[in-house]
């Protein structure tokens, strides 16, 4: 779950939980590999992309499969045995791109615009 803090100001701050941060990183990794990746290569490709080894224990899970199953809204596992399983994005996240626009209005004010683009004709 995420936490929202307003701390007496008019702006809210949303902080993602560690598992949600992993889901974001996994989505980024899978988007660069056409939405799917073999489970046996996931650790290695994560290390290559983020330059940090993936440690499921850091997210409170005993192994990679458990961690991947913790984010079913983003990731789906397909296949029967470990060596044949494929990690893929759920259909909801396939073909979507995220863009950020930063506008500097003055020295002290920056506006961040967020958009979600659908690059697929299926939606």
| Helix pair 18-31, 39-50: axis angle to 10 deg | 100
Q: List the structure tokens of 94.
A: 């396939």
Can you give the residue ranges of every domain in the chain?
Answer: 3-94
Residue partners of 36: CB distance under 8 A and separation at least 6: 30, 86, 87, 88, 89
Name the CATH topology of 3-94.
Answer: Nucleotidyltransferase; domain 5 (3.30.420)
- Per-run averaged pLDDT (10 residues), the chain, 123 residues: 55 80 91 90 95 94 94 90 86 59 50 47 37
User: What is the structure's pLDDT at 91?
Assistant: 79
Instruction: Tell me the pTM.
Output: 0.67
User: 46 and 64 in contact (C-beta within 8 Å)?
Assistant: no
User: What is the structure's pLDDT at 82?
Assistant: 77
Q: For 18-109, where are the E strands, in sequence order?
A: 36-38, 75-78, 86-89, 96-104
């Amino acid at each position: 779950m995420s936490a929202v803090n307003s701390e007496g100001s008019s702006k809210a701050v949303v902080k993602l939980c560690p598992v949600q941060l992993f889901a974001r990183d996994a989505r980024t990794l899978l988007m660069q590999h056409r939405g799917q990746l073999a489970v046996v290569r996931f650790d290695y490709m994560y290390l290559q992309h983020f330059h940090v080894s993936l440690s499921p224990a850091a997210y409170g899970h005993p192994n990679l499969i458990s961690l991947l199953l913790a984010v079913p809204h983003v990731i789906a596992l397909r296949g029967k045995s470990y060596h044949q399983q494929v990690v893929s994005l759920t259909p909801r996240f396939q073909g979507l791109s995220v863009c950020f626009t930063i506008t500097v209005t003055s020295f002290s004010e920056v506006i961040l615009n967020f958009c979600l683009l659908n690059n697929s004709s299926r939606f």
